[in-house]
Amino acid sequence: MSNYLKAIFAGGCFWCTESTFAKVSGVIEVLPGYIGDGAYNANYDAVSTGRTKHYEAIEITYDPDKVSYEQLLEVFWREIDPTDPDGQFADKGPQYKSAIFYITEAERFLAEESKKALEESKRFSKPIVTEILLAKEFYVAETYHCRYYEKNSQHYKMYRKGSGREDFLKRVWGDNVFLS
């Protein structure tokens, strides 16, 4: 029996966040999907309109003996623009906003502490707007979205670069960024 845990993050396009977290030692699985509005079974056609209350997100299964939730939070902050209230990079709309979805009160506390530490670091001149929300039902994305970065690697690389994510992260974090 494993003692694996889950973590859920929304950081804009789930292709990009999935590919980054898939490379983290101790991460067992990363699934792209939708979270935020438990009213119905979410799908890309509905969520991409921006008219649902869902976010594009990833659900991470990880081994806490190999990677901590705090380390996952650190990777998350280095994968997004936490100051953008309208989405992430080229993707705009409520479905692309950044958020940390906590499952336990301990996760909520750690997420709030990490957000506060990032604010106090003064790395960003604008306010940190990433939300910290209670996790609801997570709906796994359609199969063609899963592991997109592997199945369509050339398109994925062009998208990641063209969206502005890669250049932004390099500019803000330099060599201390996870690039995928």
Active-site positions read 13
Give bridge partners of residue 31 from the DSSP assignment.
59
- Residue 140: CB atoms within 10 A of its CB come to 13
Contact 134, 102 (CB under 8 A): yes
DSSP class of residue 15?
H
Q: Are 4 and 67 in contact (CB under 8 A)?
A: no
Q: Is 106 exposed, middle or buried (0-12, 13-18, 19+ CB in 10 A)?
A: exposed
Determine phi and psi for 31, rounding to 5 degrees.
Answer: -120, 130
Bridge partners of 92, per DSSP, are 87
Angstrom distance (rounded) from CA 48 to CA 96: 9
Q: Which residue has the tokens 């003996």?
A: 65
